[in-house]
Amino acid sequence: MNEREFAMADAVLSHAELVSNNKIESSDKITKHTSIWFYLLPEWSNFFPPFNIARLSSVVKNSGYDSRCFDLNIESYSVLEPKIKSKEIEYDPWDGSRFSKWTSEISYYDDIHPHLEKLYLTHIERIKKESPTVIGFTLYFCNTLPILWFIKKLKSELPSIKIIIGGPGIHSINTKIEEGIFHSNGVKLVDYVVIGEAEKLILNVLADIEENKTQDDIQILTQPITERLDINNQPLPNYDDLDLNLYRVPNGIVTEFSRGCVAKCTFCEETHFWKYRQRSSDSLVHEIEELNQKRGVSVVWFLDSLINGNLKALESFCKKIIEKNLKIKWTGYSRCDNRMDKLYYETLKSAGCFMLNYGAESGSDKVLEDMDKRVTVSDMEQNFKDSKEVGIGVYTNWIVGFPTETIKDFADTLTFIWRNRNVLDVIVTSNGFVLSPPTITGQNFGRFNLSHYYYENQWCNSDFTLTKFHLLERVKLFPIFCEQLLTNHKISIPVRPNLSLNHYKISYINPNIKNEIEFENFDYDVVKTNISSFADALINENFSLFRVLYKSRGGFKMELNYEEEMDRLEFGEKVSGPYLAKYIFDIDMDGNWSLDINSKFKQNKNPFKFVNFGNDKSNTAIRARELAKIKSEVDIEYLKSKENEMNNTIDFSFEYKNVVKGTWKQKKSLL
């Protein structure tokens, strides 16, 4: 689970309860010779049974194939949970902050795999004994290593068994095949790769196997870019083989009301993953009613990119739930929309909605426009207010360091959060904006002022005033500011700096001050080092926090520290590096301030590397290129040729020590 899912977990768990009608024998008629077992390997959510393999299993069973589902993720959690509680394992591998334990070969094979190998071998023996024709795996970025180990072992003992892989982790599959990831000692480990919606493609694969068709190479089946499957007429998910009481929410399921997204947010690849389509409210209500009666399901988590993509359909669903008096609780991801008024929220609440997780992203109207969010700060504030007033929890996700975000834009986000502190229940951010090839942002560097060169193994903007080191500062300043909300408000902040690591210290002249503040036009180009725009921006980033804290909390003194190893441990290698700094900021109640700066940055050798996302061949990248509407092509060969020159001529290293003073006179009514 990622940070935004963990943020919702406590609220969902409050509705969890054991179920008695746990297992139901299947009555499907088998008419085909081919059989397929679906496997989900860790790491993935341990809250609900896996909807994806349960849905696919029901689809193939409905077509006459024998099929079973095995959730090795929940079985693995059951194996490790006692060891986690006894501290034999010192961390929870299912904690979202521990993804690297599953993706790093050293960490996975040293720290996790030894505890799970016996379980995996037990399942391999079962496969050998019962001889299914095909094994299907869902591949994510966080379970690639367990799957590869499992397949290698299985293929070494059963060379003739067929292996199918699908899921989000194979979207750049051509590259993975070229790198030989699905081969071992020249032997293919995977027979079929399914890219896109699998309900139709999986039946094509099974039809070939049923007819004993064989191929020497890995067969890649890709859904046409323009194709959209009907999600109304799918059979109920097959949970026959799963013990629901193993899950943290035994009475809960995940399901879908829609696929795709009606938005075209420039930072997101989900909007290109599938074409948007809405399921009928009758189809959804029927599924929930059946599972409620047969399985005791009373909690539903919608896995849609957004649950409110079609407001009329969502309202229709809610009214049917109310009419049928179905006692369920549900949640999902939502976008802000000014058409959702208080009456609309009351309908959602009456139908069982207990929280919504909003993709807020930014408190700056300019950045929201660059993201193509099609929403304003004012719309967001009204949605959150109405949602909170009717009793629907307000969970928010934020993107720190979007490429066009300035220091002022970031300060606007902090201002927004402070202004709405009384209605926000959860605030979630990750460790900085991720630039991804299958996004509009990733396919149009020119529009978003992005450099065609990575700097220190991370994206940066063209004038180098927003690099991984500037991103580090925002990634640290965001949770520090949010943490100051906790004094009188119950706000959950899943990602926050560990105070024991000496990130910062702060003391207020009057801790009881809580000023209401407005958005402002403020020039954050405060310190001019005469070194470089890189250095100026790096030092001035911190004034976003200093300024908004002063406006909201009055006078204070703060020590703020940056240190490579400390920041690596806290925020990861993506944003940490050779940056060492201490800032001591002191401001009195009248706005007179001083900043004691001791800052040093040492650039690594050959920090610039040319990148080109334009050659990504995945469906999502192709769609993103179409949506990006690039006006002019870049000279790739010329840009490549400049890489060495940049490495030899540009050095942002600096050391700066100074005490800077100023004043921010403020009206007494604010203090």
Tens-digit pLDDT profile for residues 507-557: 999 999 999 999 999 999 999 999 999 999 999 999 999 999 999 999 999
Q: Which amino acid is at 524?
A: Y
- What are 2-38's pLDDT values in tens digits? 555 555 666 676 776 777 655 544 456 899 999 999 9
Long-range contacts of residues 226-232, Cβ cutoff 8 Å, at least 24 apart: 226/275, 227/196, 227/197, 227/275, 228/259, 228/260, 228/274, 228/275, 228/277, 229/197, 229/199, 229/200, 230/277, 231/256, 231/258, 231/259, 231/277, 231/279, 231/283, 232/279, 232/280, 232/283
Asked if residue 587 is part of any domain, the answer here is yes
Asked if residue 408 is part of any domain, the answer here is no
| 563 and 494 housed in the same domain | yes
| 15 and 32 housed in the same domain | no
Distance separating alpha carbons of residues 36 and 30, to the nearest angstrom: 12
At 671, the pLDDT band (50, 70, 90 cuts) reads: very low
Asked if residue 236 is part of any domain, the answer here is no
Q: Which residue has the higher pLDDT, 659 or 218?
A: 659
Angle at alpha carbon of residue 435, lines to 431 and 441, rounded to 5° = 130
Check residue 234 and give its pLDDT: 87
**Does 504 score more than 90 pLDDT?**
yes
Asked if residue 403 is part of any domain, the answer here is no
| 194 and 289 housed in the same domain | no
| 527 and 467 housed in the same domain | yes
Mean model confidence pLDDT for the chain: 90
Q: Is 440 exposed, middle or buried (0-12, 13-18, 19+ CB in 10 A)?
A: buried
Task: Give the end of a domain, one of 172, 187, 222.
Answer: 222
| 171 and 96 housed in the same domain | yes
Asked if residue 444 is part of any domain, the answer here is no
For position 370, which CATH number holds? 3.20.20.70
Asked if residue 433 is part of any domain, the answer here is no
Distance separating alpha carbons of residues 381 and 415, to the nearest angstrom: 12
| 210 and 62 housed in the same domain | yes
Q: Which amino acid is at 547?
A: R
Angle at alpha carbon of residue 75, lines to 160 and 5, rounded to 5° = 110
The 10 Å CB-count burial string (b at 16+, else e) for 603-635 is: beeebbebbebbebebbbbebbbebbeeeeeee
Q: 3-class SS at 92?
A: coil
Distance separating alpha carbons of residues 93 and 528, to the nearest angstrom: 45
> pTM for this structure?
0.88
- What are 319-346's pLDDT values in tens digits? 999 999 999 999 999 999 999 999 999 9
Give mean pLDDT, residues 561-579.
90
| 4 and 73 housed in the same domain | no
**Does 489 score more than 80 pLDDT?**
no
What is the 8-class DSSP label of residue 500? G
Using CA atoms, how far residue 348 sits from 272, 281, 318, in Å, is 28, 14, 6
Residues 6+ apart with CB under 8 A from 132: 35, 36, 37, 66, 68, 161
- State residue 66 phi and psi, 5-degree precision: -75, 130
Asked if residue 75 is part of any domain, the answer here is yes
Using CA atoms, how far residue 370 sits from 155, 403, 594, in Å, is 48, 9, 35
- DSSP assignment of 502-522 equals --EEEEESSTT----------
Give mean pLDDT, residues 310-323.
96
**Does 60 score more than 90 pLDDT?**
yes
Q: Are 358 and 251 a contacting pair, CB within 8 Å?
A: no
| 194 and 278 housed in the same domain | no
| 335 and 211 housed in the same domain | no
Among 262-271, 278-287, 438-447, 592-601, the range scoring the smallest mean pLDDT is 262-271
| 164 and 275 housed in the same domain | no
Q: Are 548 and 481 a contacting pair, CB within 8 Å?
A: yes
- What are 193-216's pLDDT values in tens digits? 998 889 999 999 999 999 998 888
Task: Give the end of a domain, one of 175, 192, 222.
Answer: 222
Residues 6+ apart with CB under 8 A from 206: 32, 34, 36, 60, 63, 65, 134
- What are 505-517's pLDDT values in tens digits? 999 999 999 999 9
Asked if residue 434 is part of any domain, the answer here is no
| 283 and 214 housed in the same domain | no
**Does 438 score more than 80 pLDDT?**
yes
At 487, the pLDDT band (50, 70, 90 cuts) reads: low
Check residue 670 and give its pLDDT: 42
Check residue 47 and give its pLDDT: 92
- What are 635-651's pLDDT values in tens digits? 889 999 999 999 999 99
For position 181, which CATH number holds? 3.40.50.280
455 membership: H or E segment, kind and range: strand 453-455
> Total structural domains in the chain?
3
Task: Give the end of a domain, one of 380, 398, 416.
Answer: 398
Check residue 20 and give its pLDDT: 65
- What are 343-398's pLDDT values in tens digits? 999 999 999 999 999 999 999 999 999 999 999 999 999 999 999 999 999 999 99
Check residue 632 and give its pLDDT: 76
| 462 and 587 housed in the same domain | yes
At 669, the pLDDT band (50, 70, 90 cuts) reads: very low
Write out the residue range of the structural domain in which residue 607 sits. Answer: 450-671
What is the 8-class DSSP label of residue 108? I
Q: Are 634 and 613 a contacting pair, CB within 8 Å?
A: no
